[in-house]
Structure 1
Amino acid sequence: MATTSNQISFYAYKEPTITAELTMIDNGPRTAESTIEQQECEITEEINETFYFIDYAKLVTTEMLEQLENNKNKELSLDNIDSLVITNPRHPKFEIGQIYKDKATLKSFLSYFAITNHFQYKVFKSCSREYSIICLEKNCKFSDQQQATSKLIGNYIKPKFLNLKTTCTPLDIKGDLNDRYSIKMNYRKAWRSKEHALNKLRGNAKESYNLIPSYLYMLQKTNPGTIVDIEKGEDKSLLFLFMALNASLRGWEKCKPIIVVDGTFLKSAYGGTLLSASAQDARGKIFPLAFYMEDSENNKSWEWFFTKLRAAYGVREDQCIISDRHESIIKATNKVFPKITHGYCMFHLLRNLKTTYKKHAKEYSKIGYHKWSRFYSKNKRYSVMTSNIAESLNAATVAAREVPVTILLECLHGLLQDWTYTNRKLDQKTMTRLTPVAKQALTNNFVYSLRLTVKPANEYLFEVFKEDKSWIVNLKERICT
């Protein structure tokens, strides 16, 4: 192969496989007939890249639950290297007589092989029966390699984005490809490669909105009793989306009557806000009730959310809503839940007090003790003094908030499903009538009581001593001095 240019030809062999053959050709001028023949055989090929967002959403859900091991980005390997049909585009060897799965696999293999071995080629003939390439030997500059397209690089770096917590910038891509394969590219090409990898893996953000109606339809079909609702604008754009799964609706009656609401930003291409309503089960675990997506937090959106929330869950005795002091939440709560106690998160209140007390001292004095004090609260708050439930839920969905909207919905569905299954398994192991939290509290109180001296005055009045201190306990009135 040292005399003239080398031509490698691939012929169709028992469709859809393709076999390779190596021949020698002359560098002489090509005739007009051969040029016409080549033009007739040239075809444009598009690789069908079917995007399954549900499969990807399951992966993201697993990451949120921290059950996925760290992705080591290992190179793909063949199950059987000696297999006759090559399906791996990164097959390590190139030999005469090889059979490839299809033309798309062949073209990907040639590109990877050229990059790995630092050479270039050009397509001599391409049709449904034959695919021939010619190696370029004269003045071959690998830094300008034609085979290192943004699409090919995107397929190569795709495993880097399986874990959403991994940060990979275009500069990182440039450095990695240069270190491994001596490929020099500009920033724009690295950015296009990253976008191709993200679109291939997560789908297109704009097209994801078109999948919402069909996804919600199938969600109700597979989860009977689930409540969903959508409101669109005059231009058919999405304004509000409400989702309450059947598992949440059925479990609400067994939860503490405390609902914590909060909102967080979406980081996808079109942004938006994700609102959530959560409670705690008897074990004290987070129990998501409903999710709601909108363009921004405002009076109308919060009122719409609370209206749907009340229609789905109703109102329970001694129910209480906990949130920060967002003006829209206050107005919507007073309008939709006028008879329900609305308490404030003590953490947000304390933080605002430290930063803006001098400017708004009079305003804070008008808040009222019943809004943040458990003692003055009209209803029991069950020691829920902050909105940590909602903040924990936001932290669990931080990775999913970067993906397109349909994947986000599936991630939320998968998150609730996994949490429900895990908590149910834990509850099945409970051997007493009390939850582990209540049992531990009673055990701690019992141990503490061993250091006390109790003298009864009658059936319900007792005097309790500890060292130089004493208390009067009235069991009938449930008070202690």
Structure 2
Amino acid sequence: MCHTEPSAVVHFETMPAYQGDDLVGDIRVLHRVFWSYYPCIRAFRHCKPVVQVDGTYLYGKYKGCLLVAVSQDGNNNIVPIAFAIVEGETSDAWHFFLSNLRQHVVTRDGVGLISDRHESINAAVERSNGAWSPPRAFHMFCIRHIESNFLQKFKAPYLQKLVVNIGYSRTVWEYEVRYQRLWERGEAYTNWLNRIPHEQYALAFDSGYRWGHMTTNLVKCINSVLKGARNLPITALVKLHANQLASENIQVSCFDRQNEVFEVREMPSGLEFAVDLRGLRCDCVRRVYRARFRPLVNPTTWPAYNSPRFVPNPYLRRVSKGRPRMTRFLNEMDTRMLRRPRRCTLCGAEGHSRSRCRQSAGTNADRDAQ
């Protein structure tokens, strides 16, 4: 990828490899890797100055996490800007990702960073030496995760909507009215909310750095798109990412390249737009997609590689057989999984399974009597 597109950013962190007690000189254990494509780096210059980050677990032979950062263009399209594969959502892993993101992609100041309230992300932001702190950047929280944390703390679902509405308040007056309603229902609720700076969750105090984004839904959408790739080996995963990002949904016809005048046809709708890059006039925002992806071509045509060979971390290998056990703690955000009632396939009633059905016990007794 670096040979095909030298402007791409790829940063590895490795560990020494040992065979018994002997150090192997020509092999390194892959620890972390960060990458961003040049078209993504260039696209962010023309996107809204807001970044959403999130992590998702890998399903494959080895454990690990895929960290993703996305932004949004002027037409509200999602623009992935950076990726990383790390050992897990640790403070060091998030520091590695955010440091590279700040150094190579999000280089301008006055950027809003939206994430969940994961302690590792907060620790990484504090370790950034001001790179992700005011006035260079403004770290804010997803209101859905604050709502989830509130419900987990107080078990008060009747107050969920009020907490969300406090965050969505667009004026200080609206905020104070809704905050007062929460205080009237219990001072413990507002004391808990006061531990979070209001500029990190309330729209009325964000100074515009949220650009109206209250959740991390943009990056969640990308995670769902990449779900099928999360069980692949790293090389196949990176190649799939490159192919997905390079697939275009627009067709460009050049009228006057010297004066940078183009006709853009959006697919599959077929709508046509005129774009004048030099005159800063366009029917839609397309400067974001001006840079082109270059194909990775066939691996047999790649140049010879003479550097140390990378191997997976053996301590991250999955050893259990059978279907992986879900270790995620579910909350009210997993509405589909939590609200689906257990229904017996024998009697059709809810609240139990076939193995615990009373009719099943009676049927077995009749069968034994015969």
TM score, norm. by length of structure 1: 0.43
In structure 1, the residue matched to 2:146 is: 349
Structure 1 residue 421: deviation in Å? 5.5
Structure 1 residue 317: deviation in Å? 3.8
- Contact preservation (8 Å) 2:113, 2:139: yes
- Which structure has more relative contact order (CA 8 Å, sep 6+)? It is 2
Structure 1 residue 383: deviation in Å? 1.3
Structure 1 residue 345: deviation in Å? 0.6
- Contact preservation (8 Å) 1:232, 1:239: yes
In structure 2, the residue matched to 1:288 is: 80
SS across alignment from 2:127:
helix
Q: Does 2:266 align with 1:426?
A: yes
SS across alignment from 1:279:
strand
Structure 1 residue 363: deviation in Å? 4.0
In structure 1, the residue matched to 2:111 is: 319
Q: What amino acid maps onto 2:141 in structure 1?
A: Y
Q: How far apart, CA to CA, are the structure 2 residues paired with 1:259 and 1:314?
A: 8
Q: Does 2:222 align with 1:393?
A: yes
Structure 1 residue 420: deviation in Å? 6.9
Q: How far apart, CA to CA, are the structure 2 residues paired with 1:422 and 1:265?
A: 35
Question: Which runs of structure 2 are paired with 1:32-431 in the superposition (5 Å)?
Answer: 219-235=1-17, 236-336=28-128, 337-339=132-134, 340-357=137-154, 361=189, 362-418=191-247, 425-426=265-266, 429-431=272-274
Which one is further off, 418-427 or 273-282? Answer: 418-427
Q: How far apart, CA to CA, are the structure 2 residues paired with 1:223 and 1:382?
A: 32
Q: How many pairs were matched up?
A: 218
Q: How far apart, CA to CA, are the structure 1 residues paired with 2:249 and 2:91?
A: 32
| Structure 1: gaps spanning 5 or more residues | 1-218, 437-481
SS across alignment from 2:79:
strand
In structure 2, the residue matched to 1:105 is: none
Structure 1 residue 325: deviation in Å? 0.2
Q: How far apart, CA to CA, are the structure 2 residues paired with 1:237 and 1:403?
A: 18
In structure 1, the residue matched to 2:365 is: none
Q: How far apart, CA to CA, are the structure 1 residues paired with 2:236 and 2:111?
A: 33
Structure 1 residue 335: deviation in Å? 2.7
Residues 239 and 347 (structure 1 numbering): CA distance in 2 closer, same or farther, change over 3 Å? Answer: same
SS across alignment from 2:273:
coil
SS across alignment from 2:41:
helix
Residues 422 and 332 (structure 1 numbering): CA distance in 2 closer, same or farther, change over 3 Å? Answer: farther
CA root-mean-square deviation: 2.4
Q: How far apart, CA to CA, are the structure 2 residues paired with 1:430 and 1:394?
A: 30
SS across alignment from 1:354:
helix
SS across alignment from 2:221:
helix
Structure 1 residue 419: deviation in Å? 5.2
Q: What amino acid maps onto 2:32 in structure 1?
A: F
Residues 402 and 314 (structure 1 numbering): CA distance in 2 closer, same or farther, change over 3 Å? Answer: closer
Structure 1 residue 369: deviation in Å? 1.5
Q: How far apart, CA to CA, are the structure 2 residues paired with 1:220 and 1:317?
A: 27
Q: How far apart, CA to CA, are the structure 2 residues paired with 1:419 and 1:275?
A: 24
Q: How far apart, CA to CA, are the structure 1 residues paired with 2:59 and 2:208?
A: 37
1:104-137 CA distances to partner (integer Å, 9 max, x unpaired)? xxxxxxxxxxxxxxxxxxxxxxxxxxxxxxxxxx
- Contact preservation (8 Å) 1:341, 1:379: no
Residues 357 and 242 (structure 1 numbering): CA distance in 2 closer, same or farther, change over 3 Å? Answer: same
Q: How far apart, CA to CA, are the structure 1 residues paired with 2:251 and 2:228?
A: 21
1:53-86 CA distances to partner (integer Å, 9 max, x unpaired)? xxxxxxxxxxxxxxxxxxxxxxxxxxxxxxxxxx
SS across alignment from 1:237:
strand
Structure 1 residue 349: deviation in Å? 1.3
| Structure 2: gaps spanning 5 or more residues | 18-27, 157-187, 253-263, 275-280, 286-370
Moved over 6 A (4+): none
Q: How far apart, CA to CA, are the structure 1 residues paired with 2:103 and 2:142?
A: 25
1:148-193 CA distances to partner (integer Å, 9 max, x unpaired)? xxxxxxxxxxxxxxxxxxxxxxxxxxxxxxxxxxxxxxxxxxxxxx
Q: What amino acid maps onto 2:29 in structure 1?
A: S
